[in-house]
Amino acid sequence: MQNHAGKPMNADDSHTTRELLRVGLLVFGLFLVWRFLAGIVTTVLLLSTGLLLAVALSGPVEALHRRKVPRPIAAGLVSVVGLAIFSLGGYLLFPELAKQASQLSSALPSALSRIGGRIEELASRFGVPVTGGEAPSASTLASLGRPLLGGALGLFKSLASIVVGLVVVVFVAFYLAASPSSAVNWVVRLFPPDRRGRVRHVLADIRASLLGWLVGRLLSMVIVGILATVALHLIGIRGALVLGIFTGLAAFVPFVGPIVAAIPPLLLGLVGGPLDALWVLLAYVTIQQVEGNLITPLIMEKTASLHPAIVIVAVTVLGTAFGFLGALLALPATVVAAALVEELWFRRLEGTNAEGTVDAR
């Protein structure tokens, strides 16, 4: 056997070629497996988001269905009413939101510039050499924001994939809320016949726990958003309505969300002076204390409480692994896991059923 130069190819060269070919095939195979697993993870996260939305829709759909309204019609009515309320709220608030968003877009770069100037002034007083710089422009902030946005969106790489993901989530939620029996029956049939009654009971408990937690979480978010808006307006922070809505939405992810939501108003407060920033900090700390010690215990009284350490670990691990969707689904996943452990492990060890009485089985 000869190589391209006409010289005979020895056994070592042939062995090296085969090894390189094997390594190349192995790398290519691992790449395909990685792409496949990434697609599976994305699909699972989207379906989980759709399932969470379906649970949220199932409450009012069940209420209408108990009044003899067919499920598909009830799901359609709930969807139309929800869309109408969202559209009406957007129509009424859009002018003010657009105005305040414009104010924030001009105020934040100015705030960053002034804060940078004050840092340089303090550093110069202590003899620390600093390099002066210009105020960050809109293009600079956009270039800095794109990686952050990409990290927040996590698994989504383009606007088209985001739109497709939203369509999948909405349709999955609607069809599960309109006709849950077929999906539940399919899951139940995965188990032996003598276990199917138990499986239905566990699924019903999971749905009840998740629905109770979700309703409580949404009410808590609304209250936090209102309190933040009022507090920022009284302090005199620009864009109080936008920042308040952002604070309420961020409250869905505990511990991490409130910290992220407090950063923009703190930056704007520093522009007005240390006193304004202190008022903002005190307002957000007070709101979180009220939310954690008063609002959440009252609203979510019947929902299984989760230890703060478990919540922090779940949000950190799933957020780091799967980005924004992972952090968003961390707490619902923890609620489901807690319901499963309670139903399948604790009650079994203690020999009690869902009502707390001794289980004869």
284 in any annotated domain? yes
Q: Name 62's bridge partners.
A: none
pLDDT at 149: 43
In a domain, 244, yes or no: yes
Say what percent of the chain tops pLDDT 90.
Answer: 7
Residue 98's pLDDT band, with cuts at 50, 70 and 90, is confident
Is 324's pLDDT higher than 60?
yes
pLDDT of 284 reads 92
Q: Please check whether residue 33 lies inside any domain of the structure.
A: no
Instruction: Please write the tens of the pLDDT for every residue from 266-311.
Output: 888 877 777 888 999 999 999 988 887 777 776 665 555 666 777 7
Q: Is residue 312 part of a domain?
A: yes
Instruction: Give the pLDDT band (50/70/90) at residue 6.
Output: low
**Domain contains 134:** no
pLDDT score recorded for residue 88? 85
Query: What integer is the mean pLDDT of 78-93?
Result: 84
Q: What is the mean pLDDT of residues 18-39?
A: 78
Among 70, 85, 76, 68, which Cα is nearest to 171's? 76
Q: Answer yes or no: is 69 within a domain.
A: yes
231 is a domain residue: yes
Contact residues for 233 (Cβ-Cβ < 8 A; gap 6+): 240, 241
Residue 3 counted as domain residue = no
Q: By three-state DSSP, how is residue 46 classified? A: helix
Strand partners, 358: 352
The number of residues in the chain equals 361
- Residue keyed to tokens 């989980």: 48
Q: Is the pLDDT of residue 331 over 70?
A: yes
Of residues 147 and 100, the one with the higher pLDDT is 100
Q: Which of 304, 78, 318, 41 is nearest to 176 (CA)?
A: 78
Which DSSP symbol is given to 195?
G
pTM of the predicted structure, to 2 decimals: 0.70
Q: Which domain holds residue 163?
A: 40-125+157-350
143 has a pLDDT exceeding 60 = no
> Above 60 in pLDDT, residue 94?
yes
Cβ atoms of 327 and 252 within 8 Å: the answer is: no
Q: How many domains does the chain have?
A: 1
The mean pLDDT of the chain is 76
Instruction: Please give the pLDDT value at position 154.
Output: 46
Q: Which of 10-14, 28-32, 169-173 has the highest mean pLDDT?
A: 169-173
